[in-house]
Amino acid sequence: MLTRSKHGANFMGDRTFDILLDIHHGLPRQGPGDDMCTRRALAMFDGLPAAPDVLDVGCGPGMQTLALAEALGSEVTAVDIFDVFLDELRDRAQERGLDAMVHPVKASMDAMPFADASFDLIWAEGSAYVMGVGEALQAWRPLLRDGGCIAFTEMVWLVDEPPAEAASFFGQEYPAMTDVPTNLQLIRDAGYEVVGHFTLPDSAWWDNYYAPLEARLPEMRRKYADDPQGLDMIAASQREIDVRRQFPDAYGYEFFVAKSTYMT
C-alpha cells in the first residue's frame, strides 16, 4: 500500500519515498480495491442527485475516480498531494475519454481548497487513515451538503485475536489499525448515519495491486542491487505481500458507506 504513510509529509523530499515511488508508480492501484467494489459501494446509496458533485480524496492514479465518473455520468474532483499520481490520472482519463469529467487537484487532504457544502459525495479508498479515520470524517464533513454521503475503505482486523506474526507486522506498519465495530462507532461519532459496509474480497488485494507489484520486484532488485536502502524497501514490499498471503483471513479492507446527518 505504498507504505501506510503514502500521503504523509514525512516522505516529501525523502529518498525513502523516491524509492517507494519508483517501485510503485504505474501500478493500476496503490492499494487494495477494484471497480466491482467501487460500484457495489456506490449502489448502496439511495437518493443521490442525478449528477452529484463528487470529491475523491487521496485519489492516487485514480482507478476508482474513473469508475465513479463512468458510473455516475458526473464530474469528479480528484485530490492527491503527489504530481506523479495526478499525471497518471490525467493520462488514464484522456485514454478513456473522461478528461472533461475528471478534475485533478494537487492538495493535502487536511487543507483542501474547497468551500463548505461543495459536494454531494466524498470518496476515499484507502486514504482516510492518513489523517486517522475519526479525524478525517470530522474534517471533511463540512464539505458535504446537507444529507451528503461518504464512502471510504479502511484496513481492519477481522479476528478478535490476530496471529502473532501479523500483529507484530502491523504493530510496526499500522499500529492504529482497529476493527469494524470501532470504525462504525467513529462514523457515528463524526455525525454520520451508517448506510452499510462490506469486506473487500481477496481478489481485490491481488488482481490490481499485489500481483502486478510482486511481478515488478525482480526488476527492482536488479536495479537496486548495489543500493542497500533500495533493497531494504523492496524487501519490505515483499514482506507485506507475504504477510497477506499467509494471513488473508486475519485482516482485510472494509468498505464503509455513510450519510451525513443534517447540519443544524
Per-residue model confidence as pLDDT tens digits over 141-182: 999 999 999 999 999 999 999 999 999 999 999 999 999 999
Burial 16-32 (b: 16+ CB within 10 A, else e): ebebbbbbbbebbbbbb
Q: What is the pTM of this model?
A: 0.93
Helix (H, G, I), strand (E, B) or coil at 68: helix
Closest by CA position to 130, among listed 161, 163, 108: 108
How much is the average pLDDT of 76-99? Answer: 96
Q: What domains can you pick out in the chain, each with its CATH number?
A: 30-202+249-259 (3.40.50.150)
Say what the pLDDT of residue 3 is.
46
User: How far is it, in rounded angstroms, from Cα 83 to Cα 77?
Assistant: 15
User: How far is it, in rounded angstroms, from Cα 6 to Cα 20?
Assistant: 9
How much is the average pLDDT of 235-246? Answer: 97
pLDDT higher than 80, residue 128: yes
pLDDT higher than 80, residue 188: yes
User: How far is it, in rounded angstroms, from Cα 206 to Cα 201?
Assistant: 10
Cα dihedral angle (127, 129, 134, 138), rounded to 10 degrees? -30
Say what the pLDDT of residue 263 is.
56
